[in-house]
Amino acid sequence: MTRRFKVLVVLVVMVLIAAGGMVVAWARHDDGEPVTILGTWTGDQADQFEKVLRGFGIPFRYQGTAAQREVLLSKVQSGEPPDIVIMPGIGELAEYADQARLKPLNDLYDPAQYGAPWNATGTTSSKVYWVPVKADLKSIVWYRKGEKPADSPAPLRSWCIGMGDDGASGWPGTDWIEDLVLQRAGPAVYEKWALGTGTAQWWRSAPVRSAWEAWAGLLGQDRTAAGHALLTDHRGSPKSHGLLFGGWGGCSLEHQGSFARSFYESDAPRASLLDSAPLLPGGGRVRAHEVTGDFAALFSSRAQARELVRKLASKEGQQKWAGLGVFSANRQVRSGHSAVEREISERLRTGPRCLDASDVMAPAVRDAFYEAVLQTIARVATGQDPGIQRLLQDVQRVQDARSAQGTDSRAAPRTVCSSR
């Protein structure tokens, strides 16, 4: 907002108050200001995103940061949230929706173009507060072409693992737990655990406990490798072309989402993928695929911000995005130039799929999940008993506390998985 505009606002308010005691609520933005967008993409991904946005002809200002959660909270608390936020954390967005900070998107895109599990509405509301503008596939394992692994559980030394992240370390470990629960217990149990539905204490249930024990058992095969994973960034060291092509100890497999291709840089064409289920501890068949997305939400009612979301969520906007090598959850959009990209695109649209469980969970529960994962690997690496039962009990207490305080989200999705 320019100084001249601020002065004008003050003068007009003073005149109105003097004239009749009228109270006027003024918009935070001047119509001429760029639409502000906060996301997690930096580097090449940010450049690609901005290229798409420039094609819309709407002035914008994009900020990408790995510490998005903290930056967004700071902006909201200071009364200056971005017009648009793009983040994977549906649970976090649901809390902002419960606080009446988000604007409904029902009239800005066609939910039928996306389908389940992407467009689920809240538990007590028909309003939609987010739309996936980028999709990624999980429940897959990357390997180097020409080095296809056996279709059986792989030892720890084969895995390229890193728990580190600028924003929230530990989430790569939650992907292992989630995938194990999904492949062993199936989508119905996975969904109830992710949503915390019913009276069952899902964190202490047999499906979650056995998945956690299987992961800890894998880590326990090599304390040195486990310790290295704890201290390694999931993207690899700078200029390493990711863990798969620059990892430690000759590792050859990476349990990582389709976004890992951006870490591989020029080596990305040398990476192939397999479904994860047979290679996980215990092996088994593919029950479903875990998927994740980056969801756009509106903190503002500005016409330009609404129009930008409409364009970005449209078939045309998503097709432009997909043309740059990004995957879309929009059913009408086709993406993928290489065989690997076409495989990913196909899996994102067909078969049972479940949203990333930790992304759906309330932030407090999600953070407790991250912490329990880090404690598990740290204890295994130092030769201690991981104390899984106690760790899961601690996470369950966080879940129970939310329920006891009546803080369960009204805007949280009703469903996490799709059957087809």
Is residue 416 within 8 Å of 386, Cβ to Cβ? Answer: no
pLDDT at 8 over 60: no
Nearest to 360 by CA among 415, 399, 410: 415
Q: Which of 69, 76, 104, 88 is nearest to 293 (CA)?
A: 88
- Provide the strand spans (E) within 249-346: 253-255, 271-275, 289-298
Task: Locate 384 and state its tokens.
Answer: 């201690």
Of the candidate ranges 111-125, 159-173, 341-355, the one whose mean pLDDT is the lowest: 111-125
- On whether the 34-136+291-355 domain is CATH 3.40.190.10, my answer is yes
Q: Does position 302 have pLDDT exceeding 80, yes or no? A: yes
Q: Which helix H or strand E contains 133, and what residues bound it?
A: strand 131-137
Handedness of CA 107, 109, 111, 112 (dihedral sign): positive
**Angstrom distance (rounded) from CA 22 to CA 16:** 6
The pLDDT confidence band at residue 403, using thresholds 50, 70 and 90, is: confident
Rounded to whole angstroms, the Cα distance separating 406 from 403 reads: 5
The pLDDT tens digits of the residues spanning 261-289 come to: 999 999 999 999 999 999 999 999 999 99
Answer with the residue of higher pLDDT: 24 or 204. 204
**What is the SS3 string spanning 243-312?**
HHHHCCCCCCEEECCHHHHHHHHHHHHHEEEEECHHHCCCCCCCCCEEEEEEEEEECCCCHHHHHHHHHH
Cβ contacts of 238 within 8 Å, gap of 6 or more: none
3 state SS of 254: strand
State the residue for tokens 């030769």.
Answer: 383
Q: Three-state DSSP class for 39?
A: strand
Q: Pick 83 or 409 by higher pLDDT.
A: 83
> Which residues, 6+ apart, have CB-to-CB distance to 289 below 8 Å?
137, 138, 139, 140, 275, 347, 351, 352, 353, 354
Cα 135 to the chain's mean position, in Å?
9
Q: What are phi and psi of 48, to 5 degrees?
A: -65, -45
CA–CA dist 246, 236 (Å, integer): 7
Residue ranges of domains in the chain: 1-30, 34-136+291-355
Q: What is the CA radius of gyration of the chain?
A: 22
Mean pLDDT of 87-96: 93
| Residues 344, 290 contacting (CB under 8 angstroms) | no
* Average pLDDT value over all residues in the chain: 88
**40-67 pLDDT, tens digit each:** 998 888 999 999 999 999 999 999 998 8
User: Averaged over 215-236, what is the pLDDT?
Assistant: 95
pLDDT digit string (tens) for 311-367? Answer: 999 999 999 999 998 999 998 998 778 899 999 998 998 889 999 999 999 999 999
pLDDT for res 387:
97
